[in-house]
Amino acid sequence: MLTRVLALVLALAFSSVAFAEAAPWEIHPEWAKEFSDRAVAGSMLVYDERDNRYLVFDRARAETRFTPASTFKVFNALVALETGAVKDEYEVIRWDGVKRGMENWNRDQSLASAMKFSAVWFYQEMARRAGASRMQAWIDQVGYGNRDIGGGIDRFWLDGGKLRISALEQIGFLRRLAEGSLPFSPQAQEAVRRITIVDAAPDYILHAKTGWALRAAADGKHDLGWIVGWVERDGRRWFFAMNMDMSRGDADAAQRLPLARAILMRSGALPTAP
């Protein structure tokens, strides 16, 4: 059994590398303005599925692994559903009464609401219910990032934990979720696709998840911000993963979605603003 799992992990890793090498990369230095206008440094990677091409600003950074922070909630939700930690995305878990910094966290939550508000305590509980051995098995089977859950079952994806993933790997994972080819049940994958929708406009659907890790930037001094997801429009899909250094807390965090939207408009994934 162990040999089969190892073979699967290696096959996934090699196929991911082969895919990345096969698809051409287009460098877009003009996207630097979107970052500089917001006084942040970072990288944006977009994968155009129909044309099988990567569009990128700062390729080296896009291939560098960082702490996934709350972007890991997407994976965590799949494990929660698959292991029965919750019966579905609507089952409510009672708030433990501990006041936390985000007011939206201080209430009962479901898988869906905790995804929307990025309630860390809820997904920590999901990870504890899954347990370290099952969580490790799922991470190994999917081949998620560096597959290291050191740092504690309810901390390994947060600042201080050992899990790391690159923007390129984020896109590889999201592609498999979008097409339903992850080794989770079709029902679990469909539920997670539903709860990651942040904008359902008449002419497109935007799936996204943010993340914020303290002092997790490459210099070890700044916080790290993520936003990952995909756009469905006109029968096409564009996948994206952006990370950036954050030194101004909430002010920088608030720029993640607008910055991603601006570059997705530049890449043709989203319609340009009127």
Distance of CA 111 to the CA centre of its chain: 16
CB neighbours of residue 115 within 10 Å: 25
Distance CA 243, CA 106 (A): 27
70 is known as an active-site residue: yes
Rg (CA), the chain: 18
Residue type, 143: G
Q: Are 80 and 124 in contact (CB under 8 A)?
A: no
Residue 8: count of CB within 10 angstroms of its CB: 15
- Catalytic pick among 16, 43, 70, 113: 70
**47 contacts 54 by C-beta, under 8 angstroms:** yes
Q: Which residues are tagged catalytic?
A: 70
